[in-house]
Amino acid sequence: MGETITFWVLAVVSVSAALGLVFSRKAVYSALMLGMVMLSLAVLYAVQGAPFLAAVQIIVYTGAVMMLFLFVLMLVGVDSSDSLVETIKGQRFWATIAGVGFAALLALAVGNMVFGTAVGVDRATQPAGGNVPALAQLIFTRHVFAFEVTSALLITAALGAMVLAHRERIRPKATQRDLARARFTGPQPSPLPGPGTYAQHNAIDMPALLPDGSLSAKSINRVLARHDEENGVRPTDPAKAALIRKVIEKDGAGKNADGEDVVKDTVDTDGGVKETTHQEDGK
């Protein structure tokens, strides 16, 4: 009775998560729904008397593969738009063939379950001495060729991913000496003052006070300043509020609070060079 209730509860959960995986517009939500399906399968394996498969399902698939999916999404970005241009010719045809083959295998499995005699996991693994010995015997005797081919396929896929993700460096890596020379030949060799220094608070969105009592525009984080301005959060001190507004206006015009041009950096993008601008405030 408990096994039946567990099956129907997990069946609803896993099918709902699978539908959410297919129809979700967010890649992160799809990955989380896939994790829910894998956890449901692990519980079903445990209920059916297959503890080894349940542990593998949780440790390998849910713990390792799902984390790999999430890391890839974090690196690629969840806002990346999918390209609808087919780069592989004939992929729809072969996808249709694969779908028909999978449907045939599913129909054979359902037919075997309906018209065959159910034996049960415990009875099927009893001659080998348990679930784990029976699984090991099948893997390393009857299905050893398929097991080794799958291992070689996974290793090849990992090497292929490393080759595709590798990028040749188009310029030598900057050493500590190069970084120090660039810093001392630049307009600001000394560290910038921290926000809130010598002030009556330690808020990171407030300007620092210089030893003479004046406000330091270089200590203002322009991202937080713009965020506070958009949300209507302004300092009560008119001088600080005016300075923060000046920083925002200068940053939008391509200059910092001292009227200097922002620094241009070159960033490598797929072998090319792309210019980006930012304010040299160290924040």
10-50 pLDDT tens trace: 999 999 999 998 888 777 788 888 888 989 999 988 888 78
Q: Give residue 79's pLDDT.
A: 53
Higher per-residue confidence, 151 vs 208:
151
Q: Distances from the Cα of 49 to the Cαs of 5, 109, 131, 140, in angstroms?
A: 16, 20, 8, 21
The answer for residues whose C-beta is within 8 angstroms of residue 215's C-beta and 6 or more apart is 207, 208, 209, 239, 240, 243
The answer for residues whose C-beta is within 8 angstroms of residue 222's C-beta and 6 or more apart is 247, 248, 251, 279, 281, 283
Put simply, whether the predicted model's pTM sits higher than 0.85 gets the answer no
Closest to 11 in 3D by CA, of 34, 33, 43:
43
Q: Give residue 102's pLDDT.
A: 92
For 238-249, what is the mean pLDDT? Answer: 77
The answer for residues whose C-beta is within 8 angstroms of residue 264's C-beta and 6 or more apart is 275, 276, 277
Whether residue 268 has pLDDT greater than 60 = no
What are phi and psi for residue 56, nearest 5 degrees?
A: -65, -40
The answer for residues whose C-beta is within 8 angstroms of residue 14's C-beta and 6 or more apart is 36, 37, 40, 41
Q: Rounded distance, CA 53 to CA 136, Å? A: 12
* pLDDT tens track for 127-183: 777 777 888 888 888 888 988 998 899 899 888 888 887 777 788 888 998 888 888
Q: Distances from the Cα of 254 to the Cαs of 188, 216, 225, 264, 273, in angstroms?
A: 18, 19, 16, 10, 20
Q: Rounded distance, CA 97 to CA 13, Å? A: 30
Task: Work out the number of other CB atoms within 10 angstroms of the CB of residue 40.
Answer: 21
For 180-188, what is the mean pLDDT? Answer: 83
Q: Rounded distance, CA 221 to CA 224, Å? A: 6
Which two tokens mark 283?
A: 């924040």
Task: Work out the number of other CB atoms within 10 angstroms of the CB of residue 194.
Answer: 15
